[in-house]
Structure 1
Amino acid sequence: MANLKWKTPRSKTRSRRAANWKLGDVTTVQCPQCHQPKRPHFACPSCGTYKGRQVVKMQDETAG
């Protein structure tokens, strides 16, 4: 078995591994209530509904 001539530095090993640790694209779906884009399995940030129920109390835009 061959011996190594140089020890691979930690930074080179980490950068080689980090090349494959990318974030993927964010998936969005259309909210069935307000038809705005939202993330699946999350409450809608526009209207505050999740699975047909109001789960987040939203403020009126006119009460500012």
Structure 2
Amino acid sequence: MGGVPTKHHTRSKTGNRRSHLALTASQLIACPKCKHPTLPHRICSNCGYRPAKIKNQK
């Protein structure tokens, strides 16, 4: 015999469990050099500006 669920999960219990699975939109900031929208803590794809924390990471 195959596995059969022994308890029924109501829609509200399932929804409560899944309430933390929602995706969030990525937060963009303006590059301090060229004002192009970029992700925080990343190198700017437009002008190549690198924040100080990324420069000294070696």
Q: TM-score, normalised by structure 1?
A: 0.50
Gaps of 5+ in 1: 1-5, 56-64
More relative contact order in 1 or in 2 (CA 8 Å, sep 6+)?
2
Amino acid at match of 1:47: C
Q: Distance in 1 between matches of 2:8 and 2:49?
A: 52
Cα RMSD over matched residues?
Answer: 2.5
Post-superposition offset of 1:26:
1.3
Name the counterpart of 1:22: 22
Q: Which of structure 1's runs of 4+ aligned residues deviate more than 4 A?
A: none
Q: Distance in 2 between matches of 1:22 and 1:34?
A: 32
1:46 and 2:23 are equivalent in the alignment: no
Q: TM-score, normalised by structure 2?
A: 0.54
Percent of pairs with identical residues = 27
Q: Which has the larger radius of gyration?
A: 1
Name the structure where helix makes up a greater proportion of residues. Answer: 2
Gaps of 5+ in 2: 1-5
